[in-house]
Amino acid sequence: GAVVSQHPSRVICKSGTSVKIECRSLDFQATTMFWYRQFPKKSLMLMATSNEGSKATYEQGVEKDKFLINHASLTLSTLTVTSAHPEDSSFYICSAKGAGGRGSCTFGSGTRLTVV
Amino acid sequence: AQSVTQPDIHITVSEGASLELRCNYSYGATPYLFWYVQSPGQGLQLLLKYFSGDTLVQGIKGFEAEFKRSQSSFNLRKPSVHWSDAAEYFCAVGAQDSSYKLIFGSGTRLLVRP
C-alpha cells in the first residue's frame, strides 16, 4: 500500500536555529502534499498545501517566512521551521495525495519538534 | 465555513463492549467524510471514508460509520472493542475547495477497560 515516510520522527533544537522536516512518498508520486500541526491534546490544523514545482499555499494565520515549504520533486516535500522558538514546539504531520483513492490521503508518522 | 464537532473528549468502554463515537459536521454540499485513528506519538491511519452511495460504510479493524444527512452526523461504531483499539480518533471532512485538505474534529480519546 501507499507509504509516506516522514523524517525525523523526533528533533530537539535550540532557539534561533532552523529545522528541516522531510515528507517522502515511497511508492507513489505525490503532486500535492499537506502539512499539519498538532498541539498537545489538540486536533490537527492544516498549515499549508505543498504543490510540486510551485509555491506552497498557506492557510490563514500561518507565517510563510517562518514555515518554509519546498516541493522540488514528485516524491519529496520539506518543511523548514526557521528561527525556531519554544512556541513552535509541536507535532508536525504531512500527508500526500494520490494513492489512496478519491479524496483520501496517506499520512506520515509525524515529527515531534521540541525547541529549547 | 466547514467544521467538525466531536462532542466527546474521552470515552471509556469495557473490552468486548460496543462503541459509538459521535461526529457532527457543518458543510454546504455533500461532504467527503473520514475517520482516522492515531496512536500516541504516531501518524494517522484511515479507518474509513464516505463520498457517496451507501450511507453505511465499512472500514478496517471492524469499524463502520453511518452517514446521516438529516442529522449532519457521521458516527463511528464497533460492535466489540478490543484493548488494542485504545487510541485517539479523529473525524474529518474534506474542504470544499479540495477534498484532500482535511478539516479535523478535536478528537475523542478512547480508553478500554480490561
Render pLDDT for B7-52 as a digit per residue (tens, 0 to 9).
Answer: 999 999 999 999 999 999 998 777 899 999 998 878 889 999 998 8
* B105/B90 Cα distance (integer angstroms): 6
B positions 21-80 inside 8 Å of A (CB): 32, 34, 36, 41-46, 49, 51
Q: Is B62 helix (H, G, I), strand (E, B) or coil?
A: helix
Are the C-beta atoms of A50 and A69 separated by less than 8 Å? yes
Which positions in chain A have a beta carbon within 8 angstroms of at least one beta carbon in chain B? Answer: 4, 6, 32, 34, 42-46, 49, 91, 93, 95, 97, 100-110, 112
Q: Assign A103 a pLDDT band (cuts: 50, 70, 90).
A: low
* B2/B4 Cα distance (integer angstroms): 7
**Interface A:B, Cβ pairs < 8 A:** 59
Which residues are CB-contacts of B84 (< 8 A; sequence separation ≥ 6)? none
Render pLDDT for A53-63 as a digit per residue (tens, 0 to 9).
Answer: 889 999 999 99
Which residues in chain A have Cβ-Cβ distances shorter than 8 Å to B100?
Answer: 32, 34, 95, 97, 103-105
Q: How far is B65 from chain A (nearest CA, A)?
A: 16
Which pLDDT does position A52 carry in this prediction? 87
